[in-house]
Amino acid sequence: MKVSVTTLALRELDVDLLIVPVAEDAPAAHTSHLIDVLGPEVERALADVGGKKDDDALVYPAEARAKRVLLVGVGKAADADAERVRHAAATGALVAQKRETTTVGFVVPDLPLDGEATGQALVEGFSLGGYRFRRYKTAQGAFDGPQRLVLHADAKERGARRGAERGRVVAEAVNAARDLVNLSPDDKTPTRFAKAVEKSGKRYGYEVSVWNETLIEEEKMGGLLAVNRGSQEPPVFIEMTWKPEHAVNEKPIVLVGKGVMFDTGGLSLKPTKNAMDFMKADMAGAAAVVGAFEAIAKLNLQVHVVGLIPATDNRPGENAYVPGDVLHMHSGATVEVLNTDAEGRLILADALSYAKTYRPELVLDLATLTGAQVVALGSNVAALMTNPRNDPAARVQALREAGQRSGDRVHPLPLDDDYKEQLDSDVADLKNVGGKEAGCITAGKFLEHFVSYPWAHLDIAGPAFLQSAKPYRPKGGTGFGVRLLVEFLRDRADPRKRS
Ligand code: BES
Ligand code: MN
Ligand code: ZN
């Protein structure tokens, strides 16, 4: 989709659909201007909608060049944050899909939010809300989604232009991550997934190196190898590098993504319904890391970032690892497996222990790690856990703010040491499952055992994949984490520039 910004007269904007966000308390001058320019039909619709949040009306103005005008209420201007604007834009995207409009315009609303943030939110909400995964549909309709999006801005033109461009890049990266999650498991075996990442690296200009099983054995990644044992396909370990010339950080920020391409549970087999049936999404952490790399490379963010993805599936094949197995991990620690379905922490532990070789400034991992996360926080907010090194409070605050601004929200959970007792093993250094209490936290405590640098863990089990659509997040893969990472890294690259 082509995105542009114009200051041409609104009346002349020749689009199939013109989307006009309106605040409840929009100044009379603004609404009367809209009526002047777009005609009396708009006046009646404005009276109906009155700017009420989540209310909208579609009108067919006789005088304007735009074929249709959609008014979308955003509530009180002072409360209209980026998320509210994304929601309004997503309402527009639904109408655009339904009416099969190819060209779409937006009137950039005059809100307390600055032009850049407004432009970005409009484009994100529209592109994310219009996302459809059609890859396996054999009956392709003639309509291939809107092709052109024009933002009409007056005073805020320059900001809107920057924001719109960033929104386009970010939304494209989120949608790419969604595609990876929605892909059939058979089309994303570890090897195929690695090929897709290599292709992405070539296209966006970051480096990718893929380790095969032999290299993984040489590195003694006992967790990744054990999880892979019941599988027909070998594991891979993917290393990604984005090192721009003027990076602000000497030591890299390392992003680790859980890449369980399919999680059957292994011999501790999952039931099908509402459990195994969506476990193709168990690589959503990996997909988020790939999407984030695409966006940071395209935006040319001046931060040195490394990505690590341990990738395998978890299956109960003949040679599968079993409860009781003691694993020798990359770090040298031993782990007693008591449930083969707690596999994510095993492959992440190896990646986290390997991450140390980078002497990282910070390591962030993203993982669909526990059902307990979904119980605790649901599907709108990810769980955030962090270790006490190097000002954890500042880290939590930076991530929460990036979450709030980007729409990928996170909420902190404690990692106090008494939770670790649940992981005491009779025979090894620790076991891979705790008791029934605080499952999201005990998984975090397990990971912390393998970490020796500033670190934050994001359990994205709920937000990564939806069973029913939410505004601008269709059913299925959501690409959760991409926007959060981009916002967080943008802030790191240039804290003054944030909007
Ligand atoms: N991939 C699952 C976690 C998951 C659950 C992701 C629901 C998305 C939605 C993970 O590998 C898993 O199976 N976790 C177990 C851990 C348990 C055996 C300690 C869980 O949460 O039940
Ligand atoms: Mn599992
Ligand atoms: Zn899993």
- CATH fold, domain 176-494, is Aminopeptidase (3.40.630)
- pLDDT-above-90 percentage for the chain: 94
Task: For residues 50 and 40, give the distance between their C-alpha atoms in angstroms, rounded to a whole number.
Answer: 15
DSSP 384: E
Whole-angstrom Cα distance, residue 329 to residue 43?
68
- Residue 499 has what pLDDT? 47
Measured in degrees and rounded to the nearest 5, phi and psi for residue 105 equal: -120, 155
Predicted TM-score (pTM) of the model is 0.98
Q: Whose CA is nearest to atom 3 of ligand 1?
A: 370
Residue 10 clears pLDDT 70, i.e. is over it: yes
Predicted local confidence at residue 498, as pLDDT: 54
Q: What is the pLDDT of residues 430-443, one digit of tens each?
A: 999 999 999 999 99
Pick from 62, 174, 168: which is nearest to 106 by CA?
Answer: 168
How do the domains of the chain map onto residue ranges?
A: 2-130, 176-494
Active site residue 345: yes
For 111-147, the pLDDT digits (tens) are: 999 999 999 999 999 999 999 999 999 987 888 899 9
Retrieve residue 25's tokens. Answer: 């308390």
Q: How far is the CA of 356 from the centre of ligand 3 (A)?
A: 24
CATH architecture of 2-130: 3-Layer(aba) Sandwich (3.40)
Tens of pLDDT, residues 209-237: 999 999 999 999 999 999 999 999 999 99
Choose the residue to mutate in 314, 370, 379, 460 for probing ligand 1, maximizing ligand atoms within 8 Å of C-beta: 370
Chain centroid, CA 335 distance in Å: 31
Confidence of residue 497 (pLDDT cuts 50, 70, 90): low
Question: Residues 113, 86: contact at Cβ < 8 Å?
Answer: no
Smallest-distance ligand from the CA of 370: 1
Inter-axis angle of helices 439-448 and 344-355, nearest 10:
30
Helix (H, G, I), strand (E, B) or coil at 314: strand
> Which residues have CB atoms below 5 A from the ion given as ligand 2?
263, 341, 343
DSSP 8-state symbol, 470: B
Residue whose CA is at the smallest distance from ligand 1 atom 22: 371
Residues near 52 by Cβ (< 8 Å), separated by ≥ 6?
24, 73, 75
Joined together, the tokens standing for residue 18 give: 């013109």
pLDDT exceeds cutoff 90 at 75: yes
Q: How remote is the CA of residue 485 from the centroid of ligand 3, in Å? A: 22
> Greatest CA span in the chain, whole angstroms?
80
Q: How far is the CA of 156 from the centre of ligand 3 (A)?
A: 45
Question: 2-130 and 176-494: same fold?
Answer: no
- Residue that has been written with the tokens 């595609």 in this structure: 179
Phi, psi of 361 (to 5 degrees): -70, -40
